[in-house]
Amino acid sequence: MTHNDRRRGVVVTGVSTGIGRAIAEDLMKAGYLVFGSVRRLNDATELMESFGTSFVPLLFDVTDSAALPAIVETVSQHLQGDPLAALINNAGVSLSGPLLLQPVEEFRKTFEVNVFGVLEVTRAFLPLLGASEQTGKRPGRIINIGSVAGAVTTPFMTAYSASKHAIEALSQGLRRELIPYGIEVSTIEPSFIRSSLFEKAATIGAEHRYQDTHYQILWQQFNRALAQQEAKAASPNKVTRAVLHALKSRYPRTRYPLDRIWYIGRCLPDRVFDKLIFKVLGIDRLILPSPIKKT
């Protein structure tokens, strides 16, 4: 294979299921060589069998900083001196619960994966993306999978929302600081997308949690509403289209909000939005205080 025949490489984290897998599939269809992170050897084997030579598995956890140098070296060897076209930070977790009762360990885990993992993986791959003293190579791009939760906060999803608010700040900071290198940074901000993100969380955040607490009824209704929203979730292709635009466009957007709730949450006064989101979750009659009757 000659230099001109080689496919441009893209690193995607969290490709075993859901959005990450859909991103990997569409990138390969578009002619890219995908380096996809997985945490289990079985997933790596299955993906290699499904995707063939267009896919290179990277077996590591995004929170394992000690593994990163070897992973970057693996990608570098495959690139054979070519720059990395893009890093797509997709891996994430969602652990729900009432903020007053949710174990702090779950909050920490959410940030370890969704924020610190993104930062460390990004810093590790920056030299391959063009953030180095070398000149003359086409700079790569960074695409972070955020969420509308980075603009609005839903009850019982504060840990997830806080991590995605942090991704907003991290993405903006990276974008501005990487301007000297010509590296574009975009954030994709979907709402409910068909994936295993919340299904995985359900095994930890089942309805029986927080029984015999003040939040029991609210928590149970929240889980029912979450399941209903997941049943109506959009196809992952909605995300992959935005990813491809951010990757291939001459002028990629800094943000790609994929649901109108992103705009509504930013425009409405807080207390008005409170009533709207409580109604969507079906908890408006349970959570809003009754008006005080004048005697």
Show which residues are catalytic.
Answer: 160
How many Å apart are CA 284 and CA 70, to the nearest integer? 51
Q: Which amino acid is at 75?
A: V
**Contacting residues for 130 by C-beta, under 8 A, at least 6 apart:** 83, 137, 138, 139, 140, 181, 182, 183
Q: Which amino acid is at 66?
A: A
**Any idea which residue has 């927080």 for tokens?**
210
What is the CA angle 77-78-83, rounded to 5? 90
Q: Which amino acid is at 287?
A: I
**Contacting residues for 294 by C-beta, under 8 A, at least 6 apart:** none
| Residue 218 · residue 96 · CB < 8 Å | no
How far the first Cα of the chain sits from its last, in Å, is 86
Q: Are strands 9-12 and 33-38 parallel, antiparallel or unpaired?
A: parallel
